[in-house]
Homo-oligomer: A and B are copies of this chain.
């Protein structure tokens, strides 16, 4: 089996099932998936990069932009940057769709110092959410992030602001020992793949809460305009009145219509 070089620089054996699984998840037909896999396998060589494989897959998904967008969710989340602020807003939006009351960027007087809390989320319990955003692949949230989040939680937890649990949310992976640690101190973690049933990927896919950065037909410029004007989810794009959209994002009607069309294909 061929060695594939991951974004992190690590190598792993090529695994056809990974591609098939993701294609299936994105909604590709069996036949389309098989055809794409065959094409990828014909180009395999030792030391091939994940990016080369991804590019190959995408060229096979050209005619089905909706599927291509969903396949690429991980990269779309990394395009919410460069700073972490948009990811915070995005994650807060995701939580809202799951019934949380959310407030972002709260300045809270901790026991010792002022703390800027990324998201305050309330449902049955109240959570102090710390978002850790990475805008390039190969990264992961480490125990350092987990411990830091826990220590912030301890400091913010005063009589005035009673958080029940700390929560670390990240768009990438989480180290194994960060997870171990989190279990001991009651820290909730949401990372790309963890916890399996409520991972960020799952939360997004289950309710189709895709960020506008999944759009394939829109230019970078259009996507950035949307993000800058606070239109972060494709849902918002579909729900909003087009004249309001035009005013808010300062984009042409044709650009917006194209984006909305693709958003609809993705949401099917």
A residues in contact (CB < 8 Å) with B: 111-114, 143-144, 147-148, 150-152, 154-155, 177, 180-181, 183-185
Name 25 A/B residue pairs within 8 A (Cβ), A-sorted. Answer: A111-B184, A112-B180, A112-B181, A112-B183, A112-B184, A112-B185, A113-B143, A113-B177, A113-B180, A113-B181, A113-B184, A114-B177, A144-B148, A147-B147, A147-B148, A147-B151, A147-B152, A147-B155, A148-B148, A148-B151, A150-B151, A151-B151, A151-B154, A155-B181, A155-B184
A143 to B147 CA separation, bound complex (whole angstroms): 12
A112 nearest CB across to chain B (Å):
3
A261 nearest CB across to chain B (Å):
44
* Contact residues in B for A148 (Cβ distance below 8 Å): 144, 147-148, 151
Residue from the set A112, A114, A152 with the largest chain B CB neighbour count within 10 Å: A112
* Contact residues in B for A180 (Cβ distance below 8 Å): 112-113
The residue of chain B having its C-beta at the shortest distance from the C-beta of A112 within the complex is B184
A110 nearest CB across to chain B (Å):
8
* Contact residues in B for A114 (Cβ distance below 8 Å): 177
Shortest Cβ-Cβ A-B pairs, 10 listed: A112-B184, A147-B151, A151-B151, A113-B177, A112-B181, A148-B148, A113-B181, A113-B180, A147-B148, A150-B151
A76 to B184 CA separation, bound complex (whole angstroms): 41
* Contact residues in B for A183 (Cβ distance below 8 Å): 112
A185 to B181 CA separation, bound complex (whole angstroms): 21
A151 to B113 CA separation, bound complex (whole angstroms): 16
* Contact residues in B for A150 (Cβ distance below 8 Å): 151
* Contact residues in B for A151 (Cβ distance below 8 Å): 147-148, 150-151, 154
